[in-house]
Amino acid sequence: MTVWLSRIKSFVGPNVYTAVPDGGWGWVVAVAFFLVELFTYGVIKSFGIFLKDLMTEFDESNTRVSWIVSICVFVMTFTAPLSSVMSNRFGFQPVVMFGGFLISLGTISSAFTTSIDQMYITIGVIAGLGYCLTFLPTVTLLSLYFSQRRSIVTAMASTGESFAIFTFAPAFTALKGSIGWRHTIVVIGLLQGTIIVCGALLRPIVIDQFGHLDADSSQNKNHQQGPDGILMASDVEHGQQAEGGNTRPSPHNQGGEARRTKLLDLSMLKQGSFICYSAFGLFATLGFFAPQLYVVELSTSHGVDRDKAAYTLSAMAIAEIFGRLTIGWIMSWGRVRKIFVLLACVLMLGAVLVLFALVKGLWAVVACCILYGFLLGNVASTHIPMLAEDDVVGIQLMPSAVGIYVGIQSFAGLAGPPLGGVLVDITQNYGSAFYSCAAGMALGALFLGLVLPAKSSRLCLKKSEPGQRDEAVAVGELSSNHLNTGPRSDQNSSEE
């Protein structure tokens, strides 16, 4: 039994590297992120196939039913800072596994509800919290395992939600016709239990720049989390360096020690670039969920058979896969300013949303779905990893910045689907929901265009906190130590 427990620990315990591996166990994390995307955003974006069933079952309006997805998205995004705090406190593995349990519990429980209000709790609150605790820690850890390949790997792994829309929409529509919508939701909840296994595979990454640890010995060592979210071997293990006969703690570890107790870093809120980028995410989110929710009903309002209309989601999903892979390839060139590429995609996405409201007929809607899916894949797979770029906040602040950024998005996620439902109820035209999405995307493009000016202007505060200044000095010292291996004078040591 002890041998088996030891093998399990070595399989799920920390991974020790001397530098960011840009691969290694990161490929397993990429597969886990693919499956997490499949059963989180993929399920949310496929929920539109149950719209009419819930309206008929509970005798409710579009607006009331739309609140299910709206509350779910709001809880998922508003609690994002909580996800960052829990991940920093307990680690990625237990947080994601607990989130997977909540998702399955909430989804399966919704099959036994007797009113829309109960579904607000089961899918909206319980499953929504689970979505938050699974998605953000996984994408954050994936970013820590990669550097040069980050864009292309994240793009490939994020195709999970696209594959889900492509397969789930027609498959669950057919299953719903055979066993009913309640039993179909139970099946979905059981499949979402896969996320618990994915969480167990999220092994922490330990950067041992001195090469003194291995995977087995790291199990019993004390580790501290560095400023970029990567575990650093502590000073007690090997952080003391002999210099002129004296021992002194590693400067990098000093920075980690200073930041160790800070579970959520809010310093990026002083940066104008982050404020503008968060405003972009806030308004652009209006166009992320409503189209998938209403495109089937838009098609049927044009006289398209409902079974055929379900394939519009599949067309959108296929195009989104190509969009994610294409943007990952473009971003990996290294010769383009990534934020400019994202801005161009957002502008074109807003134009396509307007086209949805203007076209008629199945093939015209399918063409819009292909364009929208391709551009959505461009934006969806890059807007969160873009936080790691120096144009926004950089990799050092990403683990905390991603929680705050997604939390700000929550308000648009709460307002988007109900706003579309209200406009549809008032105008009796599903195209009006797409106009509201286009307006939000246009405002998002405006703020995205202000990110670089804000980064280079006085909107970014010049003063830094004492802790940040100390960390900068420590990192500078570390770089100097790596470049200058000779003995240092007492005068230099005293200046430090």
CB 153 within 8 A of CB 71: no
Within a domain: 326: yes
**pLDDT higher than 90, residue 184:** yes
The one-character DSSP state at 270 is: G
Q: Which H or E run includes 314?
A: helix 306-331
- pLDDT, tens digit (0-9, with 9 covering 90-100), for 386-428: 888 888 888 778 777 888 888 888 787 677 777 777 888 888 8
Q: What number is the average pLDDT over the span 221-248?
A: 42
Residue in 35, 9, 125, 115 with CA at minimum distance from that of residue 78: 125
The encoded tokens of residue 427 equal 């105008």
Within a domain: 367: yes
| Highest mean pLDDT of the ranges 103-107, 146-150, 265-269 | 103-107
- pLDDT value at residue 134: 93
**Rg value, the chain, Cα:** 24
The total number of structural domains in the chain stands at: 1
Within a domain: 224: no
Within a domain: 1: no
Within a domain: 419: yes
> Binning pLDDT at 50, 70 and 90, where does residue 10 land?
low
**pLDDT higher than 80, residue 162:** no
**pLDDT higher than 80, residue 291:** no
- pLDDT, tens digit (0-9, with 9 covering 90-100), for 64-80: 888 898 888 888 888 88
Residue in 29, 126, 77, 133 with CA at minimum distance from that of residue 384: 77
What CATH number does the domain containing 430 carry?
A: 1.20.1250.20
- pLDDT value at residue 235: 37
**pLDDT higher than 50, residue 468:** no
> What percentage of the chain reaches a pLDDT higher than 90?
24
Say how far apart CA 388 and CA 145 lie, in whole Å. Answer: 13
Predicted TM-score (pTM) of this structure: 0.68
Q: What number is the average pLDDT over the span 304-312?
A: 79
DSSP 357-412: HH--SHHHHHHHHHHHHHHHHHHHTTTTGGGGSTTTT-TTTHHHHHHHHHHHHHHH
DSSP 226-237: -TTS-EEE-HHH
Within a domain: 31: yes
- pLDDT, tens digit (0-9, with 9 covering 90-100), for 167-176: 887 888 889 9
- pLDDT, tens digit (0-9, with 9 covering 90-100), for 100-115: 999 999 999 999 999 9
Within a domain: 238: no
Helix-, strand-, coil-residue percentages of the chain, each rounded to 5: 75, 5, 25
Within a domain: 255: no
> Binning pLDDT at 50, 70 and 90, where does residue 7 land?
low
| Structural domain that includes position 282 | 14-204+264-456
